[in-house]
Amino acid sequence: MATLNQTAIKIIIRGEYGDPFAVLGPHVVKQGRQEALAIRAFLPWVEKVTVVPVGSDQTARPMDPLHRDGLFEAVFPGYRSPFAYRLEVMDGQGVVRQVEDPYRFASTLSDYDLYLIGEGRHDRIYEKLGAHLCTLEGVAGVRFAVWAPNARRASVVGDFNRWDGRVHAMRLHPGNGIWEIFVPGVAEGALYKFEVLSRTNGLLALKADPCAFAFEEHTPRTASEVASLAYDWGDADWMATRARKNALDGPIAIYEVHLGSWRRKEGDQFLTYRELAEELGRYVKEMGYTHVELLPVTEHPFYGSW
């Protein structure tokens, strides 16, 4: 017997539920006089789902479909606390695989972080908001977080969920408007945006991540990209040389440049940042410049104006 009413089911299917963690994932429910653990999942592209416990004496249990659009539920009588599990899914082509359920993972933001963000005093907010590669309970994935205080629902969409905002609706921290979710299996290089449903006018908008570490390089592609800031520096010799020089007494010749229009390659294509680093570095050195000043590294409506 389903433990959700039809109103809740319809709101989830339409992608309008603002608190998905209150419904999806594991939840202790009442069945008559007894308690049970209900596990729910919204997977719109699969035909069958089975809950496969991990490290537990509980046996696998098929999930019952609550709605033809992909809402499933399995009930484990007698359980009063969640356990680790995976979801075994079969798609319309009969392909079977196991996936992790993002709604079984707890929040990764501490109360202290949320307090500082809410006050606008977090000095390292880029480490908390945006997309961050991490591992939770031995499962690798990406933690997504965004500040959207006027949203009724916020989701992360990308090439890992067919850009469907219903699939990875995020957890809201009501005190400060932070939305977050950990999505297992997403790796570096994945493209994503945030889908935000406005609380005031019902507008559904796609937003690039303001705290992203990388973006698609060329318009009209505007997605954010999961990236790591880890980097092994190899400039020890240059740093040692710089330490021996007196910058206050040395000559300066500054080359000001707009990267988007400085030079193109065959087919009028933009140079990548790595290509620019090599070609521009060689050019300014040959021309005798000592410094490079970049015009804003942002998108402009007409590169020809530069």
* Model pLDDT, residue 151: 96
220 plus 253 within the same structural domain? no
Total domains present in the chain = 3
pLDDT at res. 12: 92
In a domain, 118, yes or no: no
CATH value at residue 188: 2.60.40.10
pLDDT score of 87: 98
Sign for the CA dihedral angle at 209, 214, 216, 217 comes to: positive
Same domain, 218 and 143: yes
163 in the same domain as 98: no
Q: Do residues 170 and 179 lie in contact, with contact meaning Cβ atoms separated by under 8 Å?
A: yes
Q: Is 226 exposed, middle or buried (0-12, 13-18, 19+ CB in 10 A)?
A: buried
CB neighbours of residue 77 within 10 Å: 10
Strand, helix or coil for residue 261: helix
| Residue spans of the chain under pLDDT 70 | 1-2, 219, 299-306
Residue 232 lies in a domain: no
Residue 269's domain spans which residues?
242-305
Structure tokens at 262: 């400085």
Question: 173, 195, 225 — which closes off a domain?
Answer: 225
Does 111 map to a domain?
no
| Structural tokens at position 65 | 């479909």
The reply to whether 130 and 214 lie within a common domain is yes
pLDDT at 22: 93
Q: Report the relative pairing of strands 254-257 and 291-294 from DSSP bridges.
A: parallel
Q: Do 95 and 141 belong together in one domain?
A: no
Clarify whether residues 131 and 218 are in a common domain.
yes
Confirm whether 230 is domain-assigned. Answer: no
- Whether residues 248 and 189 fall in one domain: no
Asked whether residue 131 falls in the same domain as residue 215, the answer is: yes
Do residues 212 and 246 both lie within one domain?
Answer: no
The answer to whether residues 194 and 181 touch, using CB atoms and an 8 Å cutoff, is: no
